[in-house]
Each structure stands twice: as structure tokens, then as C-alpha cells.
Amino acid sequence: MAEFELDKEEAKSEIDRLREELRYHEYKYYVEDSPEIADSEYDEMMNRLIELEDKYPEFKSEDSPSARVGGSPIDAFEKVEHSQQMLSLDNAFNGEDLKDFASRVRKNLAVDINYDYIVEHKIDGLALIIRYENGSLELALTRGDGQVGENVTANVKTIAAIPLKLNKEIDIELRGEVYIPDDRFKELNEKRLDAGLEPFANPRNAAAGSIRQLDPKVAAERPLSFLAYDIINLADGEQIETHLDELELLEEIGFKVGWYQQESSVEKIIEICADWVEKEEELNYGIDGMVIKLNQLELRQELGSTSKAPRWAIAYKFPAQQKTTFVRDIIISIGRTGALTPTAMLEPVEVDGSTVSRATLHNEDEIRRKDVRIGDKVLIQKAGDIIPEVVKVIKDVRTGDEQEFVMPEACPACGSEVFRDPDEAVHRCLNVGCPAKLREKIIHFASRDAMNIDGLGPSIIDKLLEAELISDFGDLYNLEHEELAGLERLGDKSAENLLEALEKSKERSFDRVIYALGIRHVGSRTAGLITAEFSSIDELRAAEISDLSAINEVGEVIAESIVNFFASEENLEVVKKLAEAGINMSLEETGAEVEEIFAGMNFVLTGSLEGYTRNEAKGIIEDRGGRVTSAVSSKTDILVVGENPGSKLEQARENDVRILDETGFNNLLKEG
Ligand code: IVH
């Protein structure tokens, strides 16, 4: 049906009405958790708004809800200095630490002063600093190193729990945590698995990865949410005396704030913290502790801060979570080297916000040492991103029906005999043609630190093997569009993307290629060491055990494994296929001498970098006279931080170490 033409005024008033309604429903859905309309109705209104804004561009506005769908991609995040240093928090690990904190506060404040605390959840997400001018969202920054953050405004605008326009036309800068709700995280990972993508390790990583997407349309697809917990700057005119006032104002202007409670007795606060250790699972967002903040803002000023954290607040950290559950079965998985790893299949339990249904048992000796039997009640533990493990068996409740586990004598995948080297704890399948080994080898080849082939996850690899399109990873580069597009649930677009990703993987450096080959004992570090000495595949092939073991840190075992690898006709065949496909089979010589700009400086690396493997980054630093150590200490000069950094980041902050992300590191290289 042809639409009646609207005149300009009518269009404007419909646009205004749609914007207002969309804002109202976003608030109902994301902040109050009580939607009044169906998602499809929301989508319909949004589509109509976008249509009208396209037709009448003169009415486009930065703070229109249409910004939720995401703007144009950018090349890199701009660095922006924070209006003031973004401090971190000191930690308490038990009641005693909390009592110490409370007495420090008491001691530092004048006698006879009345004050209390606000106890809040410590949300396990990523900190964001958001600035509004005249009620409109102007800037959103990550915390970065506390001094300088990254401008992630375009992505933040896609988060429906963050108002683009406040209910009040005020200037305000606030801080909170961006996170992914647990239920939405599960859905997200299911979708990723279906699409052959690697699932995210946990909601925190997923949130952090999403906020750092260069394409806001990708961020818009991720179920990000936000909880506000702090006001950093507020233009005059608002009467704010306590933290409670702050939280109330945040709610009033359209934000969701987390759970909080006002309390003055430290004993009560300890009880509240202990309660939440138990109740944590009831929440739909992850918390890794509680934050206790002095309520009176004026008194906060009196206490001040150290260089890293305020003296008026403390974070109470939850202990690593342990749960009991039952072992339903013990199964064997086969790794790419043929190692048989026993895994306990568990009655699913929620630990640390995610469902745990398996735990590694490492090897036969571990099973014996812990005496784990099928049917046992066990205590399992999960700390952060670490694979869950069995801490101990609750033997008191054994009924006698539990069954001892026996390592199989034949490989469950191919039926060949399994061997246990007397010097090792592992059992191995030695059949070179074992399909389970092959599958794992291809998964390894495509993995992030190896050839980093986007979209080539386990489920697509299974399909390729099933359809007999490949019989080793060398065949990947001969795949054709029609073959791929014909695979179940792949289709034209995904086939095209996969071929593009394969093409792109041809740019990977020689040491990554060596790592990707999956030679036993050759991790990415060793691959870097050996390619520094043997800079082409032919040189490496010709190397003898003595040549290889002459390399510092390369022992006889590694050397022998490399020589054995190249002694196999089958492996040579795969290497040949890769070479023919145009994969890097030698180090690219730059020939240029580099200046020793890092002479005398100590570096530590954490997380994974986009542009370099660990070894490449290490090589670059060492070539310039710097040293790379594995632990952060007061002697560390610079911490280079990649994606998903570990605890080193926190340690660096504690030691006042200069922190650089990848862009910062690149700039340092460029500018010296
Ligand atoms: S207050 C100056 N409150 O924890 C104090 N932080 O180690 C500002 N966090 O980087 C922080 N929930 O990302 C505060 N309710 C909460 C929090 C919270 C999570 C994070 C925040 C910060 C880290 C502190």
C-alpha cells in the first residue's frame, strides 16, 4: 500500500513521538526489567524511526534511539585523558581485613563524627566512564591505565541500558560497569557455537571483547548492559552530600544501579559480605566481591587517596568458588598428540555464574591419587577462567556402588592399542591416522595463536572431515566455494568469509606456521626460538638433533621431536601442501638494524596481542635492547597488555608500573 506523504511537521512530530516511546520502553526493559511491549513491537517502532530519519535527514540527532543499531566502523580507538585519575580499589579477603579498614577510617576521622557505609556489589565487568553534556551522551571511555582511556562512545551508544539522553538536562560524568547478563551470555555462546565460533570463556571476557569492537554494529548485536555506581563530576545545582544521594540521582536520570545497603556496623557489613558469597548465584550478573564505601562525601575528602586507591573504600573479594556435585561418568578425550585425558562428567552445577558439567582429571595417576570413582560425590573448584577441577572426593557418603575407573587399553576413537610411557603419566594413542588426533590437530592449526583462521571452529572442522573435503590441514587451502556453501548450515556468505579468512592466514609469520604444525613439545615460544636460528623450512628440515639442541632452552627431547616430525613422509606431504598454497615458509628478512631504544628497560607481557605472538613481541623488545620477564615487580618498567589480560595487570597497577596497550606499544616503537 502506498504511504501517504507526510508533511515535514507531521514527520517531525512522528519522529519525536517514536523517540520518546522507544526511550520509555528501553527504560522499562533494560533498567526496570519490566517490559510492556513485545520485542517485535519495539523493532517495528525502531524501523519506522530509522525510515523517517533517512527520509528527513534534517531531523537526525546524535541522541536518537536509532543510534542503538551502531554507526560506521572505525580503524582504532582514540586515546583520551581522563578528567581525573581513575583510581582502583584496595582489597580485603576476610573479616579481619574489613575490620582493619574500618579502624583506619575511624582513626583518620575527627572524633565524634557520625558516618556510615554503603555496601554494594562488585560487578564483574568492565569499567566505563561516561560524560553527558546538557543531558546528552558525549563521551564514553574505558578505564585504560587510569590516566588515559579509550574512546568507545560509538559502541556504548548501542547499549540500551545507557540513556543517550538523560531525564534531566545536566552535565554529569559517571562511572559504572558494563557487563553481559548471565542468561543472555548463555544464549550468545550457544549462537557462537552454532556459527562455528569459539565460545567466550566467561561473561566478563565477552563484555570486554564486545566493547572493544571496531565495528559498532557488532557491539550492537552483543547483549551488553550497564550498572552505574559512581558520580565523578556533577555541574553545580544538584544537592549531593552522600553516596546514597548519588545512587538516587543516577536512578532518577535513567540508570540502573546494582543492589546496595546502608550500614554502620562493621560486624553487620561482614555478615552481608558472607551472605552474598552464598547468594551470588541468584543474580543475573556476575559479581566477584562487594565494595564498601564511606557514605559521606565530605569525609571522603578528608581521608583522600593513595596513588592507586581511595582510603574511603575497599573491595571485599570472594574466595574461589567450590561446590559439591556427583561424577556421572569418566570419559576420555584425545588430544592432538594422542594423549588420552580423563574428564569427569558431572551433574551440572552453577559455579561462579556459569554451569559446570565437566572437570579435568588430568591423568591416571591423578585419578588414583584423589581416588575419584564414577558415582562419587566430589568437591569441585573454579577460579576465574581456569578449567574446573576436582579438589577432593567426599568419601563419607560413599555407598559402595561407586565404580573405579580403568584406563582403556584401546583408543576410544580408532581402536588402536594405547601405550603408557613408563616415564610419563600420560597414555597415548600412537596411530598416526587416528581421526580424533586429526581433528584436534586441525583445531590447533586454525587456533588464534597459530594460523588464527576466523570462523574455522570445531563444528565446521567436523563437517569438513565428515564430508571428506579434507584429510589434513594442508587440504584447507584447496577448498572451493561450492563445496563449502553446500555444507549443512554454512551457506554462501559464511563460505566466502571462511575462504577470506584462509587467504588472510597466509600472512601469518613463519614461527606461527611452525607452531601451527603441532610438532610435539613445540609451543609458540619454542617455535620462536627455533625459527630465529633456522629461518626457513628447508633449513629446519635439514637440522640434526645436535644442531637443534644447541639452541638455548631447546633440549634433546624437543630436538628429537622436531627431527622425528620431519622424518615422517606424511608430515612432509602436509608441509608441501602448505608451501604450495603460499604459506610463509621462511622468516621475512627486514635487514634493517634497529636502535636500542629499550636498553636497560624491563618489560612484562600479558594477554594476547592482535599483531604479534608473544615471541614476536619479545623478539622486538629484545632486538631493541629491552628485557622481557614473566613476573611484574617494582623493577618492571612497562607492562604491555593485550586482550584478556591476567592478574599481572592488577599487579602492575599496584606497583605503579606504566601500562601500555597494543596501540601504545606500537606508538612507542614508532616514536622511540
Ligand atoms: S568503585 C575509586 N564500585 O572494581 C573507586 N567499583 O578494583 C571507584 N567495580 O575498576 C570504583 N563494581 O571497575 C566501584 N560497585 C562498584 C564496583 C566497582 C565493580 C570495579 C571497577 C573498578 C574495580 C576496582
Write the CATH number for 472.
1.10.150.20
**Residue with the larger pLDDT of the pair 80 and 319:** 80
- Among 8, 28, 55, 122, the active-site one is 122
Cell numbers given for 426: 600420560
Task: Give the number of the atom of ligand 1 that is nearest the alpha carbon of residue 120.
Answer: 15
Q: What is the DSSP string of 525-552?
A: HHHHHHHHHS-BHHHHHH--HHHHHTST
Q: What is the DSSP string of 383-400?
A: -TTSPPEEEEE-GGG--S
Q: Whose CA is nearest to atom 16 of ligand 1?
A: 122
Query: What integer pLDDT is reported at residue 590 of this predicted model?
Result: 45
**Residue with the larger pLDDT of the pair 101 and 192:** 101
pLDDT band of residue 69 (cuts 50, 70, 90) is confident
Is-contact 487 534, C-beta < 8 A?
A: no
Task: Give the number of the atom of ligand 1 that is nearest the alpha carbon of residue 124.
Answer: 19
Beta bridge partners of 321: 382
**Cell 598416526 found at:** 432
113 Cα: distance to centroid of ligand 1 (angstroms): 26
Beta strands in 405-454 (DSSP E): 418-420, 427-429
How crowded is residue 443: how many other Cβ atoms within 10 Å of its Cβ? 20
Task: Give the number of the atom of ligand 1 that is nearest the alpha carbon of residue 122.
Answer: 12
SS3 call for 234: strand
pLDDT digits (tens, 9 = 90+) for 154-175: 999 999 999 999 989 999 999 9
Assigned domain for 629 exists: yes
Write the CATH number for 383.
2.40.50.140
CA distance 422 to 76: 53
* Judgement on whether residues 484 and 397 belong to the same structural domain of the protein: no
What is the CB < 6 Å shell around ligand 1? 87-89, 120, 122-123, 127, 143, 177, 229-230, 291, 310, 313, 315
Taking residues 289-293, what's their average pLDDT?
A: 96
Task: Give the number of the atom of ligand 1 that is nearest the alpha carbon of residue 126.
Answer: 13
Assigned domain for 83 exists: no
Percent of the chain with pLDDT over 70: 97
204 Cα: distance to centroid of ligand 1 (angstroms): 14
Query: What integer pLDDT is reported at residue 553 of this predicted model?
Result: 80
Query: What integer pLDDT is reported at residue 666 of this predicted model?
Result: 83
Tell which of 369, 390, 407 closes a domain.
Answer: 407
Task: Give the number of the atom of ligand 1 that is nearest the alpha carbon of residue 650.
Answer: 7
Q: Whose CA is nearest to atom 2 of ligand 1?
A: 87
Which of 229, 259, 300 most suits a substitution to test ligand 1, by most atoms within 8 Å of the C-beta? 229
Write the CATH number for 610.
3.40.50.10190
**Residue with the larger pLDDT of the pair 616 and 26:** 26
CA distance 444 to 518: 7
Query: What integer pLDDT is reported at residue 383 of this predicted model?
Result: 57
Range of the domain at 629: 602-671
Q: Whose CA is nearest to atom 15 of ligand 1?
A: 122
Is residue 122 annotated as part of the catalytic site, yes or no? yes
Q: Given the DSSP bridges, would you call strands 602-606 and 638-641 parallel, antiparallel or unpaired?
A: parallel
Assigned domain for 416 exists: no
pLDDT band of residue 203 (cuts 50, 70, 90) is confident
Which H or E run includes 347? strand 339-351
* Judgement on whether residues 131 and 46 belong to the same structural domain of the protein: no
Please choose, from the candidates 585, 580, 458, 611, the residue with its C-alpha nearest in 3D space to the C-alpha of residue 513: 585
Which of 88, 93, 211 most suits a substitution to test ligand 1, by most atoms within 8 Å of the C-beta? 88
pLDDT at 532 over 50: yes
* Judgement on whether residues 497 and 526 belong to the same structural domain of the protein: no
pLDDT band of residue 143 (cuts 50, 70, 90) is very high
* Judgement on whether residues 240 and 283 belong to the same structural domain of the protein: yes
99 Cα: distance to centroid of ligand 1 (angstroms): 20
Assigned domain for 109 exists: yes
pLDDT at 132 over 60: yes
Assigned domain for 420 exists: no
* Judgement on whether residues 529 and 464 belong to the same structural domain of the protein: no
Which H or E run includes 71? none
Tell me what the pLDDT averaged over the chain comes to: 90
Query: What integer pLDDT is reported at residue 17 of this predicted model?
Result: 96
Assigned domain for 594 exists: no
Query: What integer pLDDT is reported at residue 276 of this predicted model?
Result: 94
pLDDT band of residue 2 (cuts 50, 70, 90) is very low
* Judgement on whether residues 52 and 143 belong to the same structural domain of the protein: no
pLDDT at 1 over 50: no
* Judgement on whether residues 267 and 200 belong to the same structural domain of the protein: yes
Assigned domain for 567 exists: yes
Taking residues 260-278, what's their average pLDDT?
A: 95
Query: What integer pLDDT is reported at residue 620 of this predicted model?
Result: 85
CA distance 194 to 13: 43
* Judgement on whether residues 176 and 196 belong to the same structural domain of the protein: yes
pLDDT band of residue 368 (cuts 50, 70, 90) is very high
pLDDT digits (tens, 9 = 90+) for 575-624: 999 999 999 999 875 445 677 888 889 999 888 787 777 777 887 888 88
321 Cα: distance to centroid of ligand 1 (angstroms): 21
Tell which of 317, 346, 380 closes a domain.
Answer: 317
91 Cα: distance to centroid of ligand 1 (angstroms): 11
For residue 660, what are the contacts with CB-CB under 8 A and spacing of at least 6? Answer: 145, 638, 639, 640, 641, 668
Which 3-state string (H, E, C) describes 111-180?
Answer: CCCCCCEEEEEEECCEEEEEEEECCEEEEEEECCCCCEEEECHHHHCCCCCCCCECCCCCCEEEEEEEEC
Count of domains forming the chain? 6
* Judgement on whether residues 553 and 611 belong to the same structural domain of the protein: no
* Judgement on whether residues 548 and 468 belong to the same structural domain of the protein: no
89 Cα: distance to centroid of ligand 1 (angstroms): 7
pLDDT at 56 over 50: yes
Q: How many CA atoms within 13 Å lie on the side-chain side of 16?
A: 6
Assigned domain for 285 exists: yes
Long-range contacts of range 408-414, CB-CB < 8 Å, 24 or more positions apart?
Answer: 408/332, 408/340, 411/334, 411/338, 411/340, 411/436, 412/332, 412/334, 412/340, 412/436, 413/334, 413/437
Query: What integer pLDDT is reported at residue 449 of this predicted model?
Result: 81
Q: Whose CA is nearest to atom 9 of ligand 1?
A: 122
Whole-angstrom CA distances from 502 to 199, 204, 489, 647 are 20, 29, 19, 33
Beta strands in 425-522 (DSSP E): 427-429
Tell which of 581, 610, 639 closes a domain.
Answer: 581
Q: Edge-to-edge strands of the sheet including 225-234?
A: 136-142, 126-133, 172-179, 225-234
* Judgement on whether residues 56 and 123 belong to the same structural domain of the protein: no
Write the CATH number for 99.
3.30.470.30
CA distance 17 to 38: 18
How crowded is residue 277: how many other Cβ atoms within 10 Å of its Cβ? 14
DSSP state of 28: I
* Judgement on whether residues 345 and 302 belong to the same structural domain of the protein: no
480 Cα: distance to centroid of ligand 1 (angstroms): 50
122 Cα: distance to centroid of ligand 1 (angstroms): 6
pLDDT band of residue 322 (cuts 50, 70, 90) is confident
Taking residues 491-512, what's their average pLDDT?
A: 92
